[in-house]
Amino acid sequence: MSIFLVLFLMGLVQGLTEFLPVSSSGHLVLLSKLFDIEESLFISILLHIATLFSIMVMFWRDIWELIKHPFSKKTMLLIVATIPTCIIVLILLPIIKSSFGGTILPYCFLISSLLLFITEIFIKKKETKELDYKQAVIMGIAQGFAVFPGISRSGTTICAGLMAGGDKKETAKFSFIMSIPIIFLSMIMEIVELVQGEISFSFPPLAIVISFIVAFISGIFAIKFMMKLTERGNFKWFSIYLLLIGILTFFII
């Protein structure tokens, strides 16, 4: 497989699955195993930047409001959600790193499938309310455990917010915005790791640019789609998809 096609696929997979409830890290691990692709820290950083730009383009007004009003309730909710995520990730970091070998990937896909299925049933009977600090903490905890490949960050945080009684539209929007500090922090960690190792950029510049653009554009598409999907509260097809890919992964890993 040519390097152009590989980077195109990685950009597409990262952009779509970062925001759809199916786990971007899980799909990238699966892709690397399926096509025997060697992981590149540089490409990982590049694709993180691309999806970060996708969020910033889609929610620039909300982000600007957070910057203008650093002590507003929305900003405090973001901080409150980020703290438990960081604590959980730091505690579980050794386990998280080893999980990218793919040994628990099928089980994580199945966990995501079950979570979406339960939420599909649960939210139809749940009264909604404005996002509060309790919901932010719950979503932050959910985000902390969703760093394992195969467990969808967006799916897990949105499901947690909805089951805690959050409004569908606001929960989905907050889920994407609360990913900004986590994507940014993980990107910094990867940059530090890259600098400490041997920096090698053995990819054609055009292939890198294509991968970035594909991830950015597909990320915007995925965010728009997920916002509409959450408002409808229809997760069953993604639940079925994750069930099937989880079973399939047992035979690939």
Please state the φ and ψ torsions of residue 83, each to the nearest 5 degrees.
-60, -55
In the chain, domain spans: 3-252
Task: Give the span between the Cα atoms of 173 and 58, in whole angstroms.
Answer: 10
Task: Give the span between the Cα atoms of 241 and 141, in whole angstroms.
Answer: 25
pLDDT in tens, 41-100: 677 778 888 999 999 999 999 999 999 998 999 999 999 999 999 999 999 988 988 888
Task: Give the span between the Cα atoms of 46 and 208, in whole angstroms.
Answer: 8
Whether the Cβ atoms of residue 226 and residue 93 lie closer than 8 Å to each other: no
Task: Give the span between the Cα atoms of 251 and 253, in whole angstroms.
Answer: 6
Alpha-carbon separation of residue 98 from 37, 57, 186 (angstroms):
18, 33, 16
Residues counted in the chain:
253
Q: What is the pLDDT of residue 244?
A: 96
Q: What is the pLDDT of residue 76?
A: 96
pLDDT in tens, 139-176: 999 999 999 999 999 999 999 999 998 888 899 999 99
pTM score, whole prediction: 0.89
